[in-house]
Structure 1
Amino acid sequence: MDLSIVIPLLNEEESLPELSSWITRVMEENQFSYEILYIDDGSTDQSWEVIRGLQEKDPHHIKGIRFQRNYGKSAALNEGFRAAQGEVIITMDADLQDSPDEIPGLRKMVLDEGFDLVSGWKKKRYDNTLTKNLPSKFFNAATRKVSGIYLHDFNCGLKAYRKKVIKSIEVYGEMHRYIPVIAKWSGFRRIGEKVVEHRARKYGVTKFGLSRFVNGFLDLASITFVGKYGKRPMHFFGLWGSLCFALGFVAIAYLIFAKIMNPEVSLSNRPPFYIGLTLMVIGSQLFLAGFIGELIARNSPGRNFYLVEEKLGVA
């Protein structure tokens, strides 16, 4: 199968018939073998009934997964990735703001140009500048700086993936906006970008608020830490713990030396004493956190799971 189109959705009953017809037209024009996977993330409208009707009309191409309640876009994407069978997986939103006409170009960049992942860039947007564009620019700039991946629009729902990528990563929480970062930490470094059309919303209202930016930065910190130190937590906690303890020890040693040289000098009534003592306590706690993290990592079922690109002469 050429393509799997994974579409997470929440309360998009009005847009689904038009979106399905549009995708089908593009697929048939390009003679692609394909499947469309709708992931209903706990919709409270008639979205699932619409998906059921579409599947009955085209059972060969249209499939659906329905959550019992709303779990979020990351959960929907992760479930869609598990079910996808195509060699190239396309993700897109169900609100008709992503154009299915972009699919052939994204597919070409993955199969013909060798990219592991291609992210859309909505260069011209139809969102409110104050509440959407400015926070997005700040969010994308921070993510580029931290991750070293130079994409303009990390959160664009329109992306293309090589099958190996989506079968090798796990998306949870609100990590969907950081899939390029997750892919990079997993060893997939051929990440590209394509300018795509952004369409004005035709039906309904947006499902995302400003809180996603706060959660987004917390998730970025989590991904960065886990990606770098997930299998070796002592390298992080041990380093900073040792540094804090050493600084505290030097401060206390200096005060003790000063006390020996001049017995009249007070030892415990000076600010450096409490600063040094605090640093030593914090350092010990960080070191112990690293030690406990190391024990947990060594007993984790994924402690020795590594993605292998290729083998030669090895079974």
Structure 2
Amino acid sequence: MHRLSLVVPMHDEEDNVLPLTTQVQAAMAASPWPWQLILVDDGSRDRTAERIREAVASSPRHVAAVILRRNFGQTAAMQAGIDAASGSVIATMDGDLQNNPHDIVRMVRRLLDEDLDLLVGWRRDRKDGFWLRRLPSMLANRLIAAVTGVRLHDYGCSLKVYRTSVLREVRLYGEMHRFIPTWMATVTDPARIREEEVSHFPRIHGRSKYGLSRTFKVLLDLLAMYFFVRFRASPGHFFGRIGLACGFAGMGALGWLAWRKLGEGEAIASRPLLLLGILLVVIGVQFVCTGIVTEMLARIYFEAGAARTYLVRETLGGVGDATPGGNPLPSRMERR
């Protein structure tokens, strides 16, 4: 029997907590699997945490919660929920009521029937503003697909279903929740990653946390993503190319100046090219040595689990089975 954990990170969504919980419970009534809903409060400044506590108190068998100490960002909140999940299948969605919980059972069933590792939601009929949300998202989706090679229509859709055993091989940090399909492709066959059309609704309560400012974060994260996908096993090749290019350019400049000095007797001490050549050689050495060491240490730091991208204040509630007479789904969460 498979078990399902639904992870929902939330930040300043006080008006959406209880309606979301009600919708999920109604949708999961059709679930043949034991399920749990994990609400993660990402340091909200409104009454989101209080509403989450009410949701847990009203349905402790099915609803659990992770309350973070402060706002760590959506990626860290999502990772906190994933760490707390105990199901063999994990589904994630936004807490703004724009995703439809009734899509989850269908997506989980397809994931299991087709033996997939990840099923990504595709908001084909998206109910967001064109200039501030849909256009930047369309451009970002095409850019990410071109750079990473994983062809999907909607990287930004939070409604995704994962096989837990594969998702555990990926550690999320920074703003990397947008690139989960690409990270998953580094630990599983891309053929086991598919997408499915899902419903999308306009936001009713609260304020969107997305805008043009996130475009710059996406670009920076995309560069990091490109590096780890292409040079994960051999990062020295990436920095080595830059270092060798700078080093050879610098040595070429110094060699030409040496020929001018020795062959022509020309004074070169005051020539800017001398300083530029020396600088390029130094930069090349730094790229080859320092760059490799620091990037490898950073990657080892995160993959070893030494880096904690979130801190938990408290955990609440238990989990259970939606089917009549079912056994409770044991929780892996502990009070910290």
- Per the alignment, residue 288 of structure 1 pairs with 289
Q: Following superposition of structure 1 onto structure 2, how do residues 118-133 of structure 1 map, counting pairs within 5 Å?
A: 118-133=119-134
Does residue 1:116 correspond to 2:117, yes or no?
yes
Counterpart amino acid of 2:14?
Answer: E
Q: Structure 1 residues 31 and 109 mapped into 2: Cα distance closer, same or farther (>3 Å)? A: closer
Residue 32 of structure 1 deviates from its aligned partner by 2.8
Residue 61 of structure 1 deviates from its aligned partner by 0.9
Counterpart amino acid of 1:77?
Answer: M
Residue 135 of structure 1 deviates from its aligned partner by 1.1
CA–CA distance in structure 2, aligned partners of residues 299 and 94 of structure 1: 32
Counterpart amino acid of 1:237?
Answer: F
Counterpart amino acid of 2:254?
Answer: I
Please tell me whether the aligned partners of residues 171 and 303 of structure 2 are also in contact (alpha carbons under 8 angstroms).
no
- Greater shift after overlay, 279-288 or 67-76? 279-288
Q: Structure 1 residues 278 and 175 mapped into 2: Cα distance closer, same or farther (>3 Å)? A: same
Deviation string, structure 1 residues 245-282 (Cα, Å, up to 9, x no partner): 1232123223323444333x444555654443332222
Deviation string, structure 1 residues 53-101 (Cα, Å, up to 9, x no partner): 2222221111111112211111110011011111211101111100011
Please tell me whether the aligned partners of residues 232 and 294 of structure 1 are also in contact (alpha carbons under 8 angstroms).
no
CA–CA distance in structure 2, aligned partners of residues 178 and 299 of structure 1: 19
Q: Following superposition of structure 1 onto structure 2, how do residues 140-289 of structure 1 map, counting pairs within 5 Å?
A: 140-187=141-188, 189=190, 190-230=192-232, 232-263=234-265, 265-268=266-269, 272-289=273-290
Residue 159 of structure 1 deviates from its aligned partner by 0.6
- Greater shift after overlay, 42-51 or 75-84? 42-51
CA–CA distance in structure 2, aligned partners of residues 67 and 282 of structure 1: 42
CA–CA distance in structure 1, aligned partners of residues 145 and 269 of structure 2: 47
- Per the alignment, residue 56 of structure 1 pairs with 57
CA–CA distance in structure 1, aligned partners of residues 71 and 296 of structure 2: 35
What TM-score results when the alignment is normalised by the length of structure 2?
Answer: 0.81
CA–CA distance in structure 1, aligned partners of residues 200 and 258 of structure 2: 67
Q: Structure 1 residues 301 and 116 mapped into 2: Cα distance closer, same or farther (>3 Å)? A: closer
Question: Percent identical across equivalent pairs?
Answer: 36
Residue 205 of structure 1 deviates from its aligned partner by 1.7
Please tell me whether the aligned partners of residues 7 and 93 of structure 2 are also in contact (alpha carbons under 8 angstroms).
yes
Deviation string, structure 1 residues 14-45 (Cα, Å, up to 9, x no partner): 22222222222222224331101100112223
Matched residue pairs, number?
302
CA–CA distance in structure 2, aligned partners of residues 96 and 186 of structure 1: 31
Please tell me whether the aligned partners of residues 34 and 61 of structure 1 are also in contact (alpha carbons under 8 angstroms).
yes
- Per the alignment, residue 308 of structure 1 pairs with none
CA–CA distance in structure 2, aligned partners of residues 135 and 291 of structure 1: 33
CA–CA distance in structure 1, aligned partners of residues 193 and 37 of structure 2: 24
Please tell me whether the aligned partners of residues 240 and 288 of structure 2 are also in contact (alpha carbons under 8 angstroms).
yes
Unmatched tracts of structure 1, length 5 or more: 304-315
CA–CA distance in structure 1, aligned partners of residues 53 and 250 of structure 2: 65
Q: Structure 1 residues 173 and 61 mapped into 2: Cα distance closer, same or farther (>3 Å)? A: same
- Per the alignment, residue 65 of structure 1 pairs with 66
* Secondary structure, aligned partner of 1:5: strand
CA–CA distance in structure 2, aligned partners of residues 157 and 294 of structure 1: 29
Please tell me whether the aligned partners of residues 165 and 188 of structure 1 are also in contact (alpha carbons under 8 angstroms).
no
Please tell me whether the aligned partners of residues 117 and 161 of structure 1 are also in contact (alpha carbons under 8 angstroms).
yes
Residue 294 of structure 1 deviates from its aligned partner by 8.0
* Secondary structure, aligned partner of 2:162: strand
What TM-score results when the alignment is normalised by the length of structure 1?
Answer: 0.86
Q: Structure 1 residues 148 and 98 mapped into 2: Cα distance closer, same or farther (>3 Å)? A: same
- Greater shift after overlay, 41-50 or 144-153? 41-50
Please tell me whether the aligned partners of residues 240 and 283 of structure 1 are also in contact (alpha carbons under 8 angstroms).
yes
CA–CA distance in structure 1, aligned partners of residues 67 and 292 of structure 2: 42
Unmatched tracts of structure 2, length 5 or more: 305-336
Please tell me whether the aligned partners of residues 233 and 293 of structure 1 are also in contact (alpha carbons under 8 angstroms).
no
